[in-house]
Amino acid sequence: MHTEYFIVDKENPDKAVLSKAAELLKQGKLVAFPTETVYGLGANGLDEKAAAGIFSAKGRPSDNPLILHIANREDVDQLATHISTNAKVLMEAFWPGPLTVVLRRKAIVPDIITGGLETVAIRLPDSIVARQLIFMAGTPIAAPSANTSGRPSPTSAQAVLDDLEGKIHAVVDAGNCQIGVESTVVDCTTPVPTLLRPGGVTLEMLMATVGEVEIDPTLAGSFELAPKSPGMKYSHYAPDAPMVLFEGAYPHLADLLLLEVKTALAEGKKVGAVVSTETAARLPKEVVAFVYGSRKRIDEIAANLYKALRSYDDNPVDIIYTEGIPEDGLGLAIMNRLRKASGYRIVNG
């Protein structure tokens, strides 16, 4: 299959170009497009066959449900019922934006979207390109991250093509995604809203808005429990080489990381390191380093995270050592992704 390539301006996308992409979506085809979080792989979310294409292109397990993306707040009422006050408050506060709410589904939502659950996940993205495309397609758009299942999510059109060229009908390029980690998923069917996946809207922001927020126990990494967000149980975001994550207080964790780096170099290994500006200054020259930003700029670290994990695709190493950060703000989402990417190989300083 030939993958068509469309390029548009992030703030002021050419409508004629977007309408070509929207036309493909209407025909049941697969179109990757940017959002403010990561690039999504879109298909008509009310068309069972179109949505099935997402699972085959990504190699995604069929019990991992998809998020429906909408263009207007009112579109929720077509898809979900029993919308709680908390859900309304959250949508009011964070839409358009990187918040996904889980609500009771209506019958119009195909089983393939919900993975057979009685709930549906819905988001109104902030990205102008995403919203205009969804609006022009005239239907909710199912859009998981546009990567091969298990790989780091794409934050550029090139990263989408690296995984899915020839497997999807088109990609819309509007440059790099601003946020860089996926949306926050909140289950609003429980009496107290439950955080299922940390993301672009922080836990602190949620709590400041609705008061109490429960945290799904599976986020602590206990895989004995059936995850309510089925996607959380799969290995995810992983680079090709094994990765070890260093957690704990700074600069102690950097001391430990540097010791491991030196040991691995002495063993003749080719070593990668995903680290802060602060730590990079201390790395031996032989290390293939990706500097994800300053420890003082968590937003920069989030925006560079998946690019860092993908940077070893073209420059393979034997092992990657990664520097953890505090779990405040966006740090919670970043550490959640790094723990999964490392397959829970964690050194606690």
Q: Which residues sit at the interface with ligand AMP, rule CB under 6 A?
A: 64-65, 67, 102, 114, 117, 119-121, 144-145, 182, 185, 196-197, 228-232
336 lies in the site for Mg ion, by CB under 5 A:
no
What is the nearest approach in angstroms of ligand AMP to the Cβ of residue 147? 8
What is the nearest approach in angstroms of ligand AMP to the Cβ of residue 89? 19
Contact string 91-130 vs Mg ion (x = CB under 5 A):
----------------------------------------
Q: Which is nearer to ligand AMP, 253 or 303 (CB)?
A: 303
d(CA 311, CA 231): 24
d(CA 79, CA 108): 7
Strand 214-215 to 319-323 pairing: unpaired
Q: Which is nearer to ligand AMP, 60 or 169 (CB)?
A: 60
What is the nearest approach in angstroms of Mg ion to the Cβ of residue 38? 8
Q: Which is nearer to ligand AMP, 114 or 132 (CB)?
A: 114
Q: Which is nearer to Mg ion, 132 or 145 (CB)?
A: 145
Q: Give me the amino acid identity at 260.
A: E
**Residue among 13, 200, 196 at smallest CA distance from 95:** 200
145 lies in the site for Mg ion, by CB under 5 A:
yes
What is the nearest approach in angstroms of Mg ion to the Cβ of residue 262? 35
Return contacts of 203-208, CB within 8 angstroms, 24+ apart: 203/332, 204/328, 204/329, 205/93, 205/94, 206/90
337 binds, among Mg ion, ligand AMP, none (CB under 5 to 8 A by kind): none
Q: How many residues bind Mg ion (CB under 5 A)?
A: 1
DSSP result, 90-137: HHHHH-SSSEEEEEEEPTTS-HHHHTT-SEEEEE----HHHHHHHHHH
Q: Which is nearer to Mg ion, 145 or 279 (CB)?
A: 145
**Residue among 213, 179, 202, 196 at smallest CA distance from 39:** 179
What is the nearest approach in angstroms of ligand AMP to the Cβ of residue 106? 13
Q: Give me the amino acid identity at 267.
A: E
What is the nearest approach in angstroms of ligand AMP to the Cβ of residue 171? 17
What is the nearest approach in angstroms of Mg ion to the Cβ of residue 338? 15
315-343 b/e (C-beta count within 10 Å ≥ 16 → b): eebebbbbbbbeeebbbbbbbbbbbbbbe
Q: Give the helix ranges, DSSP H, for the chain.
A: 15-26, 48-58, 76-79, 85-94, 111-114, 128-137, 157-164, 203-210, 252-266, 277-280, 298-310, 331-341
Range in contact with Mg ion (rule: CB under 5 A) among 94-102, 142-150, 208-216, 325-333: 142-150
CB 331 within 8 A of CB 203: no
Q: Which is nearer to Mg ion, 271 or 335 (CB)?
A: 335
Contact residues for 82 (Cβ-Cβ < 8 A; gap 6+): 103, 104, 189
Q: Which is nearer to ligand AMP, 120 or 245 (CB)?
A: 120
197 binds, among ligand AMP, Mg ion, none (CB under 5 to 8 A by kind): ligand AMP
Range in contact with Mg ion (rule: CB under 5 A) among 113-121, 127-135, 141-149, 292-300: 141-149
Phi then psi dihedrals of residue 248, to 5 deg: 125, -165
Q: Which is nearer to ligand AMP, 157 or 319 (CB)?
A: 157
276 binds, among Mg ion, ligand AMP, none (CB under 5 to 8 A by kind): none
Dig out the tokens for 183 from the structure. Answer: 């949306």
Q: Nearest residue by C-beta to ligand AMP? A: 231
| Interface residues toward Mg ion, by CB under 5 A | 145
